[in-house]
Chain A
Amino acid sequence: MIIYFDKKTGDIVGTVEGRIHDESHLGMWIGDKEQNDRIIVQYKAVKWYDKDGNEVPQNALDSEGHSVVYAADFEPQTEQKDLFVELDKKPAKIYKYKVDPKTKLLIAK
C-alpha cells in the first residue's frame, strides 16, 4: 500500500492499494506534490514452498537444476506489520488513522 498524507497535519489524503508496487504505481501521486508526502509499504516473500506445500529455500533446485519453488508467503516490510496485514484485508480502515509526520508511522485518530 502507498499512503499519501498532508506533511503538516498527517491527515491521509489517499492511497494506492496492493502488495507489490511496480514503477507504474511508484510514479503515481495524490494531491499536491509540495503539500503531501507518502509512505510506501511493499510486501516481500519470506517463505517459499514446493508444489507439495513443503517449505524450501528460495533458491532450491531439482536434480536438473530447475527451481522447485511453487509458491511463497509474503509479509509487509514495515515495523507496523500486523496493522498493514489488517489494512490489506480492509483498505478503507486506513482512514481511522493518520500519519505521524516525524516518524512516518500510522497512529490511531
Chain B
Amino acid sequence: MAEKIVIVKSGYNALTESVPNNMIFSSDYNTLKYGTSGTVNLNYVTNNGIRTDTYTVTVTFSAGFSPVIFAYINDDSYFGGTGVYLPLPYHSQSIARAEDFQHFWDENVLTFQVTVSNGLAVGSPVSRTAHFKYFIFKNETGLV
C-alpha cells in the first residue's frame, strides 16, 4: 500500500475512509493553497449623463504565474447592508442604467473594474463605493 497522509473528519476511520468528502485532507488530492486575501475600495459615479464610464483599481501581486483568484463585491447601497457579498462578476440592471462589476488578472496584476452605462439622464450624479474582497491562491490556473 502506498504511503500517504489522510486527515479525516470526526467520526471517520483514517485507515479505511475512501470518500474524499469525509476527509479534511488527503495527499491523494490537490488542495487550494491559500496565498493572501484583502479588500479594495473603488469609487464610481452613477447618473452621470447618458454615457458609459469605466472605473478601475489594481492589486499588484507579481506571482510570476496566473493564480487561482476568488473575488466578491459588497455594495451596501444595493445589497442590503454591509456584510452581504456576492461573487464576481456581478451585473446590476435597472431602467436607467446597467452596472457591471468584474475582475481580471494576469501573472502580476489583479484589476477590479466597474462599468456604468447610463441609458437615461435621471437626477444628479451619485457617488458610490464598491467594496471588493479578494483571495489569491498559490495554485496556478495553467492558463498562461
Contact = CB atoms under 8 A, between A and B. Distances in A.
A4 B38 CA distance: 11
A14 B63 CA distance: 19
Contacts of B54: none
Contacts of A13: 40-41, 57
A57 interface: no
A23 B62 CA distance: 11
Given A92-B82, A92-B83, A95-B131, A28 B39 contact: no
A27 B108 CA distance: 11
B141 interface: no
B37 A28 contact: no
B90 interface: no
A16 B59 CA distance: 10
B36 interface: yes
B57 A92 contact: no
B70 interface: no
A95 B59 contact: no
Interface of A: 2, 11-18, 24-25, 27-31, 91-92, 94-95
